[in-house]
Structure 1
């Protein structure tokens, strides 16, 4: 598909996850990006994983394959790179994309950091790295920093970005939501949050922003909506709904159940299934159809009822209702742009409001292109 083909009006309030399928095939990124741009998706998000999903590399590919898609990591982790490397990544991508890049940070999974010999990510660390990155992007020199993220004699990037890339926090926990309202430009929530949990998260962020003396509307909030139209195969629908939820429950079950107020007894029943106990790795990547059906029987329906399912029109209606929960934008999760095309077109037909948002997924107001001084 040529990038010179006609493209639809951009829906900057809608995003998708790049290379969301398992196994990951990075060589498919360019074609996927061009198609996403053509149907009018607004932003591409990168969920970094060790192996074949380095966030900086994929963001560079997105920036060159599209001239208008917003780009964000959602998320990377600050302690896997030196602050100068992270600052360089952000500055390079800001320049390469013409100001379309936002840096999304998250805490990650504590057991994984323990295995890798890395420290648990704390709120103090996120606050420090956010401040240091912004200072470096403004052209400042940071002298003698000694804090939660480490000790550094002198940090200086040698460039000035105006404006600097926005910083997003990816979270579902009340503590980090409050932190995001205080320090972040945008927030990315989590897949499989209930409508009630999403509304509560929005309120938490906006209240924290106001208490910090910020305009609550200046923090852009993205919900993440599993979008699984009935044109997908049964295997795909089960894998991306129940299999993916089970994979999250492998990594951080307590955080997700607390966020939604789910019963621990239901969680115990899911984790006792053969599909869960005999898993050979991430369930969404390894389970067979029988295991996925077992999970579908075990997982309470209300845990997944707020997903976008059914016909393209039904999925579009669910997407449009997300905005009633107070979010500014929606990431359509669990499907490729090609698979999302019918839903995007249906949404365009019923879109209840014109939302004049920037392509940069971390911004609420239009940014000028990043520039080197």
Structure 2
């Protein structure tokens, strides 16, 4: 493919940010956010998907159309809520549209949502099958009689002239040890969830590297992205909605919350008490999008302070928390819970303590 854009010229290739972080009713806000992220020199813009006004294909296309250098990353979409040929086409189109700036991040989905839609939660075998199938389709291969964990497909093909294989990094959103080792075995990168402690990031990196080594791959080629909820100089409402509400919503989610608790080494009994509390049990919908401020104040009392390994405070404090994640072993760091306009003031402090020699030793910017 010609006219591939060199994204390594970004000022901070190791930094990314989520666009439309959390709940939104105005997806057009993404346009100003991605322009601002690019102007600040961030290497990547990440787009999460929700089934309301945050459909991945639309948002990726919009972000690519109004930028020139920043990498546009799906982070993440499910592997089995679209037919695989449609997902392959979304990625091929986004890659060509953006000049090779697109990366596809996928995950297994949330069990309760998948059950309500009548869609099975993806297994590790399905994720591995998906990764192999995408790369074959992106290479223009004609796939006959595919029988795998992902499904049975008599014939799949995009176009003979496609050469996107190797140009579209494929990343996995992963929590547990088995998923992290799977990512090391057959993905190009890993997206860790928000609220991983520094110790949890280190353990996750070890799992990814082990998976790569067992598969005979170069462990340094599989890039690990940490994610840090960040709010600089927040007032009470912003802190409650961006930090407390976000964590509380994660704790609502069956299975995912248990994985988060386990990898951080936290007390599972606290989670049981949290879910049993009337203010949580009576919540109709995700806490981050439905709770009042008074409810969030009550919910905060149910969660231990150490369960918020986030970047909260003045610019210097936030910058140090970012740096801590790199010291823990992350190759890249995704800023969550804030827009570029909100975290811009942290960048001069980060510039002051940024370990450029350490980052240079990690090779090319993370996928």
Tell me the equivalent position of 2:322.
319
**Rounded Cα–Cα distance in structure 2 between residues aligned with 1:44 and 1:347:** 18
> Where has structure 1 moved over 2 Å in runs of 4 or more?
21-24, 272-275, 354-359
Q: Does the 8 A contact of 2:74 with 2:104 survive in 1?
A: yes
1:117-145 per-residue CA deviation (whole Å, 9 max, x = no partner) reads: 11120111111111011011111111101
**Rounded Cα–Cα distance in structure 2 between residues aligned with 1:328 and 1:87:** 26
Q: CA deviation at 1:273?
A: 2.8
Secondary structure of 2:356 counterpart = coil
Tell me the equivalent position of 1:4.
none
Tell me the equivalent position of 1:345.
348
- Within the candidate set 170, 178, 181, 1:178 is matched to 181
Farther off after superposition, 116-125 or 259-268: 259-268
1:284-330 per-residue CA deviation (whole Å, 9 max, x = no partner) reads: 111111111112222011111x2111110110011112111111010
- Residues 239 and 202 (structure 1 numbering): CA distance in 2 closer, same or farther, change over 3 Å? same
**Rounded Cα–Cα distance in structure 1 between residues aligned with 2:183 and 2:319:** 28
Q: CA RMSD in A?
A: 1.5
Q: CA deviation at 1:20?
A: 0.8
Q: CA deviation at 1:82?
A: 1.0
Matched residues, number: 352
Q: CA deviation at 1:109?
A: 0.6
Secondary structure of 1:99 counterpart = coil
Q: CA deviation at 1:280?
A: 2.2
Tell me the equivalent position of 2:265.
261
Tell me the equivalent position of 1:77.
78
Tell me the equivalent position of 2:40.
39
Q: Does the 8 A contact of 1:274 with 1:291 survive in 2?
A: no
Counting only pairs closer than 5 Å after superposition, residues 230-245 of structure 1 correspond to structure 2 as 230=233, 232-245=234-247
Q: Does the 8 A contact of 2:129 with 2:150 survive in 1?
A: yes
Q: Which runs of 5+ in 1 are unaligned?
A: 1-7, 363-373
TM-score, structure 1 as length reference: 0.91
1:260-300 per-residue CA deviation (whole Å, 9 max, x = no partner) reads: 12112211222233331221211011111111111222201
**Rounded Cα–Cα distance in structure 2 between residues aligned with 1:9 and 1:111:** 39
**Rounded Cα–Cα distance in structure 2 between residues aligned with 1:65 and 1:207:** 39
**Rounded Cα–Cα distance in structure 2 between residues aligned with 1:61 and 1:16:** 16
Counting only pairs closer than 5 Å after superposition, residues 212-361 of structure 1 correspond to structure 2 as 212-230=215-233, 232-251=234-253, 252-304=256-308, 306-353=309-356, 355-356=359-360, 361=366
Farther off after superposition, 27-36 or 183-192: 27-36
- Within the candidate set 186, 190, 208, 1:205 is matched to 208
Q: Does the 8 A contact of 2:57 with 2:90 survive in 1?
A: yes
Q: CA deviation at 1:247?
A: 0.3
Counting only pairs closer than 5 Å after superposition, residues 12-23 of structure 1 correspond to structure 2 as 12-23=13-24
Whose RCO is larger (CA < 8 A, sep 6+)? 1
Q: Does the 8 A contact of 2:171 with 2:189 survive in 1?
A: yes
TM-score, structure 2 as length reference: 0.92
**Rounded Cα–Cα distance in structure 2 between residues aligned with 1:279 and 1:68:** 42
Q: Which runs of 5+ in 2 are unaligned?
A: 1-8
**Rounded Cα–Cα distance in structure 2 between residues aligned with 1:22 and 1:74:** 15
